[in-house]
Chain A
Amino acid sequence: MRDVAVVAFAQSASAQEGDRNEVEVLMPVVTEVRDQVGVTTADLDFVCSGSTDYQAGVPFSFVMTLDAIGPWPPIRESHVDMDGAWALYEAWVKIQMGAADTALVYAYGKSSPGDIRRVLSRQLDPYVTAPLWPDPDALAALQARCLLDADMATEADFASVAARSLAAAEANPHAVVAGARSVEDLLDEAYLASPLRRHDCPPVTDGAAAVILAAGDRARDLCERPAWITGIDHRIDPHQLGMRDLTAAPSVRVAAERAGVADGPVDVAELHTPYSHQELIVRRELGLADGTEVNPSGGALVANAVMAAGLVRIGEVAERISSGRAGRGVAHATSGPCLQQNLVCVLEGDRGR
């Protein structure tokens, strides 16, 4: 296996971008990530993006967004209709194959122009689920109820996750909701989809993220302290909700095993858990110790740019390693209803530095 590292990361997020289109949202982020390591598009061997036409509302929307990186002279690029974390996986495979030494990965999505709850219902089984138009908040609530019924968590546990995330968000300039509140205060709020309340669910977010990957010596040339990807894996559980034990996420567990989460101490974990109760499930499946700092950014409960939020998790962990604040960390990305599909990425700084 080749040594591949995250050497740069940039992001933007807001509750509503208003007049800025996707290219205009993305362009400053791509410019920032290239400037961090002093490269141009011509210096990058491969470009891979993650977004979805269902959110943009037009077919092949990612082709238009290529304007943000300048695809002339011709570049080698690819796209996944998935969160940018999976675009990063494709770029990592490309580098492993020896077809590239560097790659730009980006992802973006604007949720505010439409109704993201209706949009996300289109990802469900087209015969027995999507015709009912169930929204992600309701489906997540069914999962949360299963945890309560199994005595695996309480509503106060959910609120504790939200309270910690909202407090952490105060230090995150990209958070779209923030502000420390007590668990008791949060529990006084009305249900949105019982047993979940507004703060247990992600905020509507428009945003973008970009990462640069580099292999071996190229990574060391570009970055003083690269965040090496020592393991990465993604797995999926059955799409039929009622077929799964919703209190568990076997795909997280398998991906964590294959990515080697347990092979060393985990200083920091950024988990893509858009619903508060999902953090409890993913923590358990990853086998994180109590000492691990979880979602110091506030996580997806405070900014959840659909299609970019998973890539943001990888960037947040990488940034903490590159800045010397963490030695080894785990990033997690999810897709589909109720943690159906999951990616786990282990990142580590150079040992002894």
Chain B
Amino acid sequence: MTDDTSLRAPLVIEYPFTRTTGPVVGAFLTALREGFVVGTRASDGRVLVPPAEFDPVTNTPLTEVVEVGSEGVITSWTWVTEPVPAPQRPAGEEPPWDPSVDAQPFDRPFAWVLVRLDGADTSLLTVADVEDPAQLHTGLRVRIRWRAEREGSIRDIEAVEPVVSGEDLP
């Protein structure tokens, strides 16, 4: 129960950890800042993108960093009509988070996609910037659209877009 005399205080849940990303994830994020993508080579020769620090089957440390392409194919997708919004604060209060990074990449209907980049054997989760779900299908060839100002974050990949002149794989 609340009334006008109730005391109010903001409850902000934060887990403000700072992490050292290490030689594998660090290499991946550094490459994103420079505008390209790397993965790691697994024990069975597969190229894992995003990279894994340890082999998913043998558990051995993976150290060979491999560059892959900025184009690839969609391996799965979903069209979301109602994106999950950042929480709203009462009028007049500044939210303690940055809605440009502390929420889903779009606040309009959009697509989540898994993309297997050229040279990679696994898929990366990102978003596709298209107007309509009819433009999407599994196997669609897409290209990364990079954010203009990059800082070494997965969000340096703004979205993927259909490759207009490219070959559309089945």
Q: How far is the CB of B76 from chain A (nearest CB, A)?
A: 4
- Contact flags B41-62 to A (C-beta < 8 A → 1, else 0): 0000000111010001000000
Task: Flag if A128 contacts B50 (CB, 8 Å).
Answer: yes
Residue of B80, B114, B154 near A241 (CB, 8 A) is B114
Task: Flag if B21 contacts A127 (CB, 8 Å).
Answer: yes
Residue of B13, B52, B78, B155 near A141 (CB, 8 A) is B78
Residue of A126, A132, A145, A242 near B104 (CB, 8 A) is A132
Q: How many A-B residue pairs have CB under 8 A?
A: 113
Cβ contacts under 8 Å, B138 to chain A = 145, 149
Task: Flag if B28 contacts A242 (CB, 8 Å).
Answer: no
Task: Flag if B80 contacts A138 (CB, 8 Å).
Answer: yes
Cβ contacts under 8 Å, A243 to chain B = 48, 52, 56, 122-123
Q: How far is the CB of B160 from chain A (nearest CB, A)?
A: 13
The CA-CA distance from A111 to B46 in the complex, in Å, is: 39
Cβ contacts under 8 Å, B123 to chain A = 241-243
Is B89 engaged at the interface, CB distance under 8 Å to the other chain?
no
Is B133 engaged at the interface, CB distance under 8 Å to the other chain?
yes
Q: How far is the CB of A198 from chain B (nearest CB, A)?
A: 11
- Contact flags B78-120 to A (C-beta < 8 A → 1, else 0): 1111101001000000000000011111000000111010000
Interface size class of A (residues with CB under 8 A): 35 or more
User: Which of the segments B124-132, B141-149, B161-169 contacts the partner chain?
Assistant: B124-132
Task: Flag if B126 contacts A132 (CB, 8 Å).
Answer: yes
The CA-CA distance from A36 to B108 in the complex, in Å, is: 51
Is A129 engaged at the interface, CB distance under 8 Å to the other chain?
yes
Is A142 engaged at the interface, CB distance under 8 Å to the other chain?
yes
Task: Flag if B87 contacts A191 (CB, 8 Å).
Answer: no
Given A132-B104, A142-B77; A240-B48 close (CB under 8 Å): yes
Task: Flag if B79 contacts A134 (CB, 8 Å).
Answer: no
Is A179 engaged at the interface, CB distance under 8 Å to the other chain?
no
Cβ contacts under 8 Å, B105 to chain A = 132
Cβ contacts under 8 Å, A246 to chain B = 76
Is A117 engaged at the interface, CB distance under 8 Å to the other chain?
yes
Is A75 engaged at the interface, CB distance under 8 Å to the other chain?
no
Task: Flag if A132 contacts B154 (CB, 8 Å).
Answer: yes
Task: Flag if B104 contacts A193 (CB, 8 Å).
Answer: no
Is A192 engaged at the interface, CB distance under 8 Å to the other chain?
yes
Residue of B29, B77, B78 near A127 (CB, 8 A) is B29
Given A133-B103, A238-B52, A240-B122; A193-B78 close (CB under 8 Å): yes
Task: Flag if B101 contacts A131 (CB, 8 Å).
Answer: yes
- Contact flags A44-63 to B (C-beta < 8 A → 1, else 0): 00000000001001000000
Given A134-B125, A138-B112, A142-B112; A149-B76 close (CB under 8 Å): yes
The CA-CA distance from A196 to B127 in the complex, in Å, is: 18
Interface size class of B (residues with CB under 8 A): 35 or more
Looking across the interface, which residue of chain B has its beta carbon closest to that of A127? B25
Task: Flag if A117 contacts B84 (CB, 8 Å).
Answer: yes
Task: Flag if B50 contacts A191 (CB, 8 Å).
Answer: no
Q: How far is the CB of B48 from chain A (nearest CB, A)?
A: 6
Cβ contacts under 8 Å, B8 to chain A = none
Q: How far is the CB of B37 from chain A (nearest CB, A)?
A: 11
Task: Flag if B77 contacts A145 (CB, 8 Å).
Answer: yes
Task: Flag if B81 contacts A242 (CB, 8 Å).
Answer: no
The CA-CA distance from A40 to B78 in the complex, in Å, is: 50
Cβ contacts under 8 Å, B81 to chain A = 190-193
CB-CB contacts below 8 Å: A262-310 with B = none
Task: Flag if B114 contacts A115 (CB, 8 Å).
Answer: no
- Contact flags A224-265 to B (C-beta < 8 A → 1, else 0): 000000000000001011110010000000000000000000
Cβ contacts under 8 Å, B49 to chain A = 242
- Contact flags A196-210 to B (C-beta < 8 A → 1, else 0): 100000000000000
Task: Flag if B11 contacts A57 (CB, 8 Å).
Answer: yes
The CA-CA distance from A310 to B48 in the complex, in Å, is: 32
Task: Flag if A242 contacts B50 (CB, 8 Å).
Answer: yes
Q: How far is the CB of A319 from chain B (nearest CB, A)?
A: 36
Q: How far is the CB of A245 from chain B (nearest CB, A)?
A: 10
Q: Interface residues, chain B, CB within 8 Å of chain A? A: 11, 13, 15, 19, 21, 25, 28-29, 48-50, 52, 56, 75-82, 84, 87, 101-105, 112-114, 116, 122-127, 133, 138, 153-155
- Pairs A-B, 6 closest by C-beta atoms: A242-B123, A141-B78, A128-B50, A238-B56, A142-B76, A145-B76
- List 6 additional contacts besides A143-B76, A240-B56; criterion CB under 8 Å: A121-B84, A138-B112, A193-B112, A194-B78, A194-B133, A242-B114
Give 14 CB contacts A-B under 8 Å: A127-B21, A127-B25, A128-B25, A128-B124, A131-B153, A131-B154, A142-B77, A143-B76, A238-B52, A240-B48, A240-B52, A240-B122, A243-B56, A243-B123
